[in-house]
Chains A and B, each alone.
Chain A
Amino acid sequence: MILISYDGSEGGKAAIRAAAEMFAGESATVLTIWRPVATTLLRSAGGRGPMTGTLYMEDTDRANRRRAERCAQEGAALAAELGLDAQPATAPQRKSVATAILARADELGVTAVVLGSRGRGALRSTLLGSVSRDVLLHANRTVAVVPAPAVAATRFGRHHRTPMEGARR
């Protein structure tokens, strides 16, 4: 069993396509992480002001979770179309998205985690945080990182090929 992290982005779709190629026929869980309001409040320090009420929070959380469920179902459908034995799943974000992904990977005991990379450069990834980098830094199992097509097109093959770099055998 493998775990594919999916957020509906092009990078997420690339991760599903690559996973279907690499792990043809395997069972796969397509996981979408959603962020509870409480996490957002804590992160933005909005919690210091007056609260609008827990009812609103619950409603928002329910809506966010539903949206994540739809996203995971869409991902699982794509994965199934490509030949994986796929199931959708959602999980609330914990300390970080990476923590939530790795916690679910532990629960399921998967052999590998597959995720897309948005390919942020050195500076932006330091400022904004990058889920793939976080997962790689903390993973206790195999992680496959798949660049989104738009990212891949700007990378190594196109612009950085060095013809001098010759194979010597």
Chain B
Amino acid sequence: MIVICYDGSEDAKAAIDQAAKLFPSMPATVLTVWEPFVEIVARTAVGFGMVPSVPDADEIDEASQKAAEQTASEGAERAAALGMNARGRCRSQTTTTARAILAEAETLGAQAIVMGSRGLTGVKSLLLGSVSHEVVQHADRAVVVVPSPAVIASRAREARAEMTA
């Protein structure tokens, strides 16, 4: 069984498509991670200032979870359309997305984690964070990283530039 990380992005779609090619006969769980509102508040330090009207965290979380469930089932449908035996699943994160992915992989006893890569490097990746990088760094099982078509195209350009330089 494999876990495919899916957030609805083009990169994540490419990861599902590639997983279907590489592991056609393996059962797959399409995982969408969502962030509870308290975590967002803690992370963005909104809590330091005045909050004009306290939003209903539960209501927001319910909406976030629903959206994540929707995303996960869309991903599972995409995988199923490509011939995989797939189901959707969502999970809330308490620290980072990467840790939630690793925890879910452990719960499911997954053989491998499949995920897309946005291919951020250098300062950009430090600022924006790279989920795939964090997962690879901390994983206790195989991590299959699929570069998105956009990443492949830009790396091909880089390689050509290096050849002519």
Chain A residue, CB-CB nearest to B125:
A137
Report how many A-B pairs have Cβ atoms within 8 Å: 112
Decide: B139 and A155 in contact? CB cutoff 8 A. Answer: yes
Tell me which residues across on chain B come within 8 A of A141, comparing CB atoms.
147, 152
- Does A160 lie at the interface of the complex (its beta carbon under 8 Å from any beta carbon of B)? yes
Residues 75-105 of B, flagged 1 when their CB comes within 8 A of A and 0 if not, give 0000000000000011111110001101110
Chain B residue, CB-CB nearest to A138:
B155
Tell me which residues across on chain B come within 8 A of A117, comparing CB atoms.
136
Decide: B106 and A161 in contact? CB cutoff 8 A. Answer: yes
Tell me which residues across on chain A come within 8 A of B143, comparing CB atoms.
144-145
CA of A47 to CA of B21 in the docked complex: distance in angstroms?
47
Tell me which residues across on chain B come within 8 A of A119, comparing CB atoms.
137
Chain B residue, CB-CB nearest to A125:
B137
Which of A22, A145, A158, A160 has a CB less than 8 Å from the CB of B136? A145
Interface residues of chain A: helix, strand, loop or mixed (majority): mixed
Q: How big is chain B's contact interface, by range?
A: 35 or more
CA of A162 to CA of B140 in the docked complex: distance in angstroms?
15
CA of A47 to CA of B159 in the docked complex: distance in angstroms?
28
CA of A155 to CA of B94 in the docked complex: distance in angstroms?
18
Decide: A155 and B136 in contact? CB cutoff 8 A. Answer: no
Tell me which residues across on chain B come within 8 A of A23, comparing CB atoms.
22
- Does B131 lie at the interface of the complex (its beta carbon under 8 Å from any beta carbon of A)? no
Binding site for A on B (CB under 8 A): 18, 21-23, 65, 69, 89-95, 99-100, 102-104, 106-107, 111-112, 117, 121, 132-133, 136-147, 151-152, 155-156, 159
Which of B18, B22, B121 has a CB less than 8 Å from the CB of A137? B121
Tell me which residues across on chain B come within 8 A of A166, comparing CB atoms.
91-92
Tell me which residues across on chain B come within 8 A of A158, comparing CB atoms.
140
Decide: B144 and A142 in contact? CB cutoff 8 A. Answer: yes
Tell me which residues across on chain B come within 8 A of A122, comparing CB atoms.
137
Which of B89, B111, B155 has a CB less than 8 Å from the CB of A22? B111
Known contacts A161-B103, A162-B103, A165-B100; A22/B121 CB under 8 A? no
CB B9 to nearest CB in A, in angstroms, measures 17
Tell me which residues across on chain B come within 8 A of A144, comparing CB atoms.
112, 142-145
Tell me which residues across on chain A come within 8 A of B18, comparing CB atoms.
142
